[in-house]
Each structure stands twice: as structure tokens, then as C-alpha cells.
Structure 1
Amino acid sequence: MYDLDTRRHALSLVAQGRSLNSVSQQTGISRYAIRQWLIRLEPKQSSSSCLRCDSNPKPPQDPAAYAYLLGLYLGDGCISKQPRGTYALRIARADAWPGLIAARKDAVGQVRPENSVCAVRKQGCVMVTSTSRHWPCFFPQHGPGKKHQRVITLESWQQDIVDAHPWEFVRGLVHSDGCRVTNWATRVVAGTRKRHEYTRYFFTNKSDAIRRLFTDTLDALGVEWRPTNAWSVSVARRPSVALMDTHIGPKH
């Protein structure tokens, strides 16, 4: 058993963005105990406290942040049932990209400011996690099984947000299942072989539906793309790459 001051101290460290592992190592408290405290201390919410559960459902308060978070969820996110009727939203990110981890935490906090957000460090990655009773309300694509093995479609209110904030949605998808790379080739110029470098963007996802959401949004933005294999899409034309660089850029 831990006294109230000990619990408050551990939870304050989590609130500062510390991972459950580091807080556990510093305080000697098990990760399981800290995670249970986070769940138990979540404010009890009625259905009316959720914009989507209201008798007159409304879009999220920050639609741009939601568009970005939707892209992240479709790529690297999952929602799982927790004790006491809550759900945990988890979005994975390789720990080599601290800027993207911070952006994930910010987006989750902007979409559900009522709920705390923590970063749980795993081997080789960080899991940005937030627990709420209402995550399935915000992501109705949640369901059993892997995303590429079930039907994925956007509801009309989600499509309205994507149409209003298409670059945020594309940025979320690229920050989850995409990359920006520099390719090179050689050619002979005036008798001398010279190296030529060029930038490309790739997006890879096994779900045909998620890839189609990505390419449909690119079409609306005037970005040219082409499939490279059964699961991947490439953006390589110079004007389109310039657009992507303006709104997305390299990971950090």
C-alpha cells in the first residue's frame, strides 16, 4: 500500500511526460500500480461530457489536431478495452523521433483535454497512451482484428474534418506509415558521369482502404502520386515533392 503523497508524487512525474518505466525505476513503484492509479483517477464522465455522445453530436474542439490524430491512429494507433469500462488509445513511434513523439502527445491532449496523456517506453519505441471512456466515439473505425482485415471508412463528420484540414490528415498518415527519403542516380553530362539526388515520399499500409484515403486526399491537394507495389505509394514529381516539403517535411 502507498500513501496519498507517494501516489501524487508518482502521478506528477507522469504528468511531466516521464515514461512509466522511468517513474517506476525512480520511485520503486511498479508500472502496473501507476497505470491503475491513472485509470482510477480519471474523472468519471457522463455521456453528455463527450462531444460525440451528446444528443446533438459535435465535432472535436480542435478539428486540425483531430485530422492529424486520425492519420496517426489509422497508421500506428490502436484502441483497447480496459477495466471499468474505459479504453486506452495507444499510438506507437520509434524513439529515434522525439519531435514526433511530442507532436503525438500534443494532438491527443488537444482532442481530449479532459484526459491525461503519458509516454510509455517500450523496446525501441515509445507508446503515447491516453485512457478515456470515449475514444471509440472519436474513432468509430475501432473494432476487433487488424485494420487491413476489416472495412475502414470515414463517417461524414470525419470526412468533413479531413476536407477542411487535408494537410493535417496527410501529415498524420506520413508521420505514421510514411517516410521522406533522398534517392540518387548518375548520368553522363558533357562526358562526365555526375551524381543526381532527388527527394521522394513513400506511404506504405496493408489496408487498401487506408491507402485510398491517403491518395484521395493527395488528389484533392493536387499532389501527383503513383503506386510502387501492392502496399506502397510514392510521391516523386518535383512540384508535388515541393508541396509535401512545405506542409510536412522530414521527420524529427
Structure 2
Amino acid sequence: MTRTRTALVTGANRGIGAATARALHRAGWHVVLAARDGRAAREAAEALGPGARGIALDVTSAHSVAAAREHTGPVDALAANAGVLLDAGTDPLTVPLDTVRATLEVNLLGAWRVCQCYVPDMARAGWGRVALLSSGTGTFGGGLRSGPAPGYSVSKTAVNALTVLLAERLRGSGVLVNAVNPGPTRTRMMPGADRTPEEAAADLVHALGLPADGPTGVLLRHGRPAPW
């Protein structure tokens, strides 16, 4: 009998994270919904039903991430979705660097911190999938030339670099690591976007379900490798 795999989704109490958790649950995964607000995570998990559970996880806190790992045990897949957009409409010459630092703490170091805590288990098990949420605004081919949120854009460029580093470190281990660019998505962060959270979630679910010979260390856009 095939074991049901477990996925951890960060920032899972709303938006793309919540939609990803729903889609994974419908596909038969066990899902751990993680959010800084543990109560919101638990309520979202209860709405999904059996096979879902919610936990408090603040990606900016090493203690919180370690405590979450103690609570959940190993997982098979990670959707590192938690993120912030704090500097929309700013100029790289004037944006407060404290704002940039706070952005990097969540978007880059938060994802990195969770990977360091959970991915070694995957490598030891010989199977794992990691999807790091990226953005077109962090690509050299387009977004960085005109990005209206410089700290956010730089954080996603750094996520892309982290993707490559992790994928190379884990090559041959059975763990695939990819960045996912879902495009502008209608969430609290981007309320005017056209794409729905469900459409974006499909891209993350695809990355978590890649076959053994699937890509690793690439940026996926609608399921296909895209330029960095």
C-alpha cells in the first residue's frame, strides 16, 4: 500500500497558501497548514477536515520553526509560501532599508530557515519536494528593470538563488527543489490581480507532485521552466 504523503504549507491561513492546502487535501495528501497565527491555521485546517492540521509557525523565528518541526515530525514536501510585500511603490534610492531588511527576513531567510529544519529529513528518506514561492518581479529578464517594490523584488531574486543552491546540494538525493512564479494573484497583497489563488495553487501543487525525473533547480511558470 502506498503511504499517504504529508506536505507542509507556510502562510496557509489565507490566499495562495490556503488554496494550496485545499488543493493538496483534495488530491489526497495529508496537509499541515502553518501560519504565524496558530489559531487561524487551526481554523483553516478544521475547515478542510480529516487529514489536515494547523500549527503556529513564525518563519522569522528559529525557535518557532524548531518547535513546529518537533510538533509535526518529518514531512515529505514543503510549499514555502509565507511572504510579505512591504515596500510597494517605493524607489530603490529612498526605500527605508529597515523595510527591506524586514522583507528579506520573511521572504528569503524565512524560507531558508524552514528548509534547513525540514529538508534534511527528506534527504535522509530519499524523497522530497520543495516549492519556494517566487515572483516575476525578481527575475533579471523583466521584473528587476521596472519593479515597483525594490525590497520585495530583491528578496525574490534571492529566493531564486537559494533554489539553485539547495537543488545543487540535494542533487541525487531524491529531493527536488524549484521556485514557482504563479504570476500576479488576487490576494490581500495584490487585490487587483486577475489570477485566482486557486490557479496559483495549481502551480505549487504541480511542483510538489513532480516525478523522480522532474526538473530541479529551475523557476517554474505554469508548470514549465522559465528564464531567471
Q: Place the TM-score, normalised by the shorter chain, in its bin.
A: under 0.3
Larger-Rg structure: 1
Q: TM-score, normalising length from structure 1?
A: 0.22
